[in-house]
A and B are shown apart, each in its own frame.
Chain A
Amino acid sequence: MADHTGSKPVHQAEYERKQHREEMKQQVISFVMMILFTFVAFGMVMAGVDSFFVIPVLLLLAIVQVVFQLYYFMHMKNKGHDMPALMMYGGAAVALLTIITFTTIIWW
C-alpha cells in the first residue's frame, strides 16, 4: 500500500537503499561471470577444442549464463516470483521437448 502521508521515514529509505546496493553488487558479480563464460566459450571454439567435448560444455555455459540472467538480472530469485517461475519452467519444458524432437525424430 502506498502511504498517503508523503515521503517515508528516513531510516526506512536508508535501509532500502542499502538493500538495493547489496543487490546491485550481486548483479555486477553475475555480469562479470557472464562475461567470463562468454570468453571461455568463444576461446574454446577459437582454440579448436575437440567438438565431442566442446559442444556439451558450450551448452552448459549457455544455460548457466541464462540462469544468471533470469535469477539475478530479472529478479526471479526474489519473492513474489513463484508464478513467473512456474510459467518459465513450463515454457522451458515444452521448449526442451520441442528441441529434442527436432534433433531426433525428424526425417534427415
Chain B
Amino acid sequence: MSTAVAQKRGLAATIWDYLTTVDHKKIALLYLYSGGFFFLIGGLEAMLIRIQLMKPDNNFISAGLYNEMITMHGTTMIFLAAMPLIFALMNAVVPLQIGARDVAFPFLNSLGFWLFFFGGILLNVSWFTGGAPDAGWTNYAPLSTTSPGHGVDYYVMGLQISGAGTLIAGINFLVTIINMRAPGMTYMRMPLFTWSTFVTSALILFAFPALTVGLFLMMFDRMFGSAFFDVALGGNVIIWEHLFWIFGHPEVYILILPLFGAFSDIFSTFSRKRLFGYSAMVFATVLIGFLGFMVWAHHMFTVGMGPIANSIFAVATMAIAVPTGIKIFNWLFTMWGGQIKMTSAMLWSVAFIPSFTIGGMTGVMLAAAAADFQYHDTYFVVGHFHYVIVGGVVFGIFAGLHYWWPKMFGKVLNEKLGKLAFWPFFIGFHLTFFIQHFLGLMGMPRRYWVFLEGQGLETGNLISTIGAFFMAIGTVIFLINIVYTAIKEPKVGGDPWDARTLEWSIPSPPPHYNFVQTPLVRGLDPLWVEKMDGKKGMTPAEPLGDIHMPNGSILPFMMSLGMFIAGFGFIYQVDNSSWLIAVFIGMGITLGSMLTRSLKDDLGHHIHKEELEADIKKGVGK
C-alpha cells in the first residue's frame, strides 16, 4: 500500500500525489509555490501603485482601481505571500531540526495548506467578478461595511477560510515541537528556528481567533443584516478596529519571529560559531511574543481612547524594543570573531541587521503617542512598516530560501546569481522606502490616489518608484536563479554548508521518512557536537526497525473545496437567495468529508525494515 502510488510517475500521478500528500516536505513545496505565486501578484500590484505615484496628478490607474490595488497588495503580501512562505520554511525544516519523521498531525497539515490555498484563490477571484476589496488591508468600518459591490465580501470569506488554515497549522507546529522531539532534544537544545516557530505558533493560536470573530461580525453585517458596525442601530465601529489589531499586532510578530530564528541559525552556521547568548535569544523570543499582545492599540492612538490608554500602550510598545535590541546585539556578537563566509544567505542576513534596526527605530518614534498624531496615516508609517517587513521578513525569506534550498531541492542556488539578485533588491529597497519617511514628515498622507504638484513631493516619489523597479529586477534575477539552478547546478550532499543542526545530518532532499533511525541528540547544535567528536553523523537512538507513517488523503482538499464553494454561496446569496444552494452544497462537501474522516479508520502504514535496508544500500542512511 505504501509505495504503490509513487511508482508510476506520470503527470496525473504526480498531481494526485500532491493533492493527497501529508508529507511535510511536499506540503512545504506546495506552500512555497503558492506563496511565491501570490508574492509575484502582490509585487505586480505594488508596481502599479508606484507607477501611479510616479508623478503628480497621475492618471495611470483610476481612483477606484487604485483603492483595490492598495487593499489587495497589503492583504496579499501579508496573508497570501509572507505567511505561506514562512510556513514553507517551517514545514521543510522544523521536523528535521527536532529529529522527527513527520509533524504531529499530517492530515491537518495538509488541511491547513488547502484552506489557505482556496482562501487565497477566493480572494483573488474578486478581480474578475466586478471589483476587488477596496477598504484597505485593515478594512475599517464603516468604509468596509458601506463599500458597494462584493469586493469586501471576498475579503471576508477569503481571509476567513485561509485564517482557519493558519490556525490549524499553528496548533500542528505546537504539538509537533512538544511531542515529536528526538531523544536528547531538550527544549534548551532546540535550534532558534524551531524555538521561534514554537512561539509564533502560540501567537497564531491566541491572535487568529480575534480575527475570526472580527470577520464573522463583518460577514454578518454585510451579508445578513446585523448591526455590529451600524451606528444607526447602536453599532460601534471601534469594535472592528480593536478586534483587527488584537489580531494584527501579534500578526506582525508572527511574521518576523520565524525569520529571527532563521537568521540566528544562518549567522551561527556561516560564522562557524555557536549562537552568542543562546538562552538570552530564547528568552527574548518568548518575551517578544508575550509583549506582542499588549501593544495593539498603538495603531489606534488617534482614535480617541484617552490619554491614559494611550500612555499605557505607548510604554508597552517601547518596551518591545528592548528584547529586539538584545537580539540585534547577539547576532552581532555571533559574527564577532567568527570565520565568516559571505554566502548569499549570509548577505541577506547581514543586510537585514541595519535595515531592520532602522524600522525598529521609526517604530519607537511612532510609539510616542503624542508624536504619532503627526505621523499617523502618513507615508512615515508606510516607511516604517516596509523597513520591518521587507527589511526583516522578506530579507529573511530570501536568506532562509538560500540557506535551506539544498535541503529542499538537493541543489545549492547559484551563488553568483544569488548575489546579483541581492544588490539591486537591497539598493532598490532603501531607495523606495527611506525617502518615504520624509514624504510622510512633509505631510503626504498614505492611501491617496494622487499627490499635487508644487508641494515638494515630486522628487521623493520619483525616487521611490525608481527604487521599486530595482526591487523588481532583483526578484526577477532570483527567479532566473531558480531555473538556472534546477537546470545547471550539480546535486549536493546532505551537508553542503558544513552546518550544525540536525537537518544537515540526513540526505538532501531527505527520504520521505526523514530519519532511517531516530538520532540521539547530545547537545546544542547536535551535528556539530558529533563532528567535534570526530564522528561522521549522528548516533542512532534506536535499532533499525519498521517505521510507521501516515497515509495520504484527498479529504483535506475536498474539505477546503467545499468551503470555497460555500464562500461563493455566502457572498452572492445577498443578491439572490438561490445562491444558498451553493452554501448547502459546499458545506455538505466539507461536513461529509469530515464525517468520512471521522468514521473511516486511518491507521497509517509501515515501512518495513527490508525496504529501509535496501534504501541504505542506495546510500540513504549515512
Q: Which residues of A contact B305 (CB under 8 A)?
A: 105
Q: Which residues of A contact B294 (CB under 8 A)?
A: 97
Please classify how large the interface on chain A is, using the bins under 10, 10 to 19, 20 to 34, 35 or more: 10 to 19
Name the contact of A83 in the complex, choosing from B178, B239, B293, B304 (C-beta under 8 A): B178
Interface string of A32-60 (1 = CB under 8 A from B): 00000000000000000000000000000
Interface residues of A (CB under 8 A from B): 83, 87, 90-91, 93-94, 97-98, 101-102, 104-107
Do B238 and A106 have beta carbons less than 8 Å apart?
Answer: yes
A-B contact pairs, 30 of them (CB 8 A): A83-B178, A87-B174, A87-B202, A87-B205, A90-B202, A90-B205, A90-B206, A91-B205, A93-B293, A94-B206, A94-B207, A94-B210, A94-B293, A97-B246, A97-B293, A97-B294, A98-B242, A98-B246, A101-B246, A101-B297, A102-B239, A102-B242, A105-B297, A105-B306, A105-B309, A106-B236, A106-B238, A106-B242, A107-B236, A107-B304
Q: From residue 167 to 215 of chain B, which have CB atoms closer than 8 A to chain A? A: 174, 178, 202, 205-207, 210
Q: Which residues of B contact A90 (CB under 8 A)?
A: 202, 205-206
A69 to B304, CA, bound (A): 40
Do A107 and B238 have beta carbons less than 8 Å apart?
Answer: yes
Q: From residue 74 to 109 of chain B, which have CB atoms closer than 8 A to chain A? A: none
Name the distance in Å between A29's Cβ and chain B's nearest Cβ. 32
- The 9 A-B pairs with the shortest beta carbon distances in the complex, nearest first, are A105-B305, A94-B206, A105-B309, A107-B238, A106-B238, A101-B242, A94-B293, A83-B178, A90-B206
Number of A-B contacts (CB under 8 A): 39
How many chain B residues touch A (Cβ–Cβ < 8 Å)?
19
A93 to B203, CA, bound (A): 12
Name the distance in Å between B219's Cβ and chain A's nearest Cβ. 19
Q: Which residues of B contact A91 (CB under 8 A)?
A: 205-206
Q: Which residues of B contact A97 (CB under 8 A)?
A: 246, 293-294
Q: From residue 323 to 354 of chain B, which have CB atoms closer than 8 A to chain A? A: none
Q: Which residues of B contact A102 (CB under 8 A)?
A: 239, 242
Known: A90-B202, A94-B293, A98-B210. A104 touches B309 (CB 8 A): yes
A93 to B294, CA, bound (A): 10
The chain A residue sitting closest to B300, CB to CB, is A105
Consensus secondary structure, chain A interface: helix
Q: Which residues of A contact B205 (CB under 8 A)?
A: 87, 90-91
Q: From residue 279 to 306 of chain B, which have CB atoms closer than 8 A to chain A? A: 293-294, 297, 304-306
Q: Which residues of A contact B293 (CB under 8 A)?
A: 93-94, 97
A106 to B306, CA, bound (A): 10
Name the distance in Å between A77's Cβ and chain B's nearest Cβ. 20
A99 to B297, CA, bound (A): 14
A106 to B202, CA, bound (A): 27
The chain B residue sitting closest to A108, CB to CB, is B236
Known A-B contacts: A93-B293, A94-B293. Give 13 more (CB < 8 A).
Answer: A87-B205, A94-B207, A94-B210, A97-B246, A97-B293, A98-B210, A98-B242, A101-B242, A101-B246, A105-B242, A105-B305, A105-B309, A107-B304
Q: Which residues of A contact B238 (CB under 8 A)?
A: 106-107
A83 to B207, CA, bound (A): 18
Q: Which residues of A contact B297 (CB under 8 A)?
A: 101, 105
The interface centre, meaning the residue of B206, B297, B309 with most chain A CB atoms within 10 A of its CB, is: B206
Do A106 and B206 have beta carbons less than 8 Å apart?
Answer: no
Name the distance in Å between A86's Cβ and chain B's nearest Cβ. 9
A20 to B302, CA, bound (A): 58
A93 to B236, CA, bound (A): 24
The chain A residue sitting closest to B250, CB to CB, is A94
A97 to B246, CA, bound (A): 9
A43 to B48, CA, bound (A): 65
A107 to B294, CA, bound (A): 20
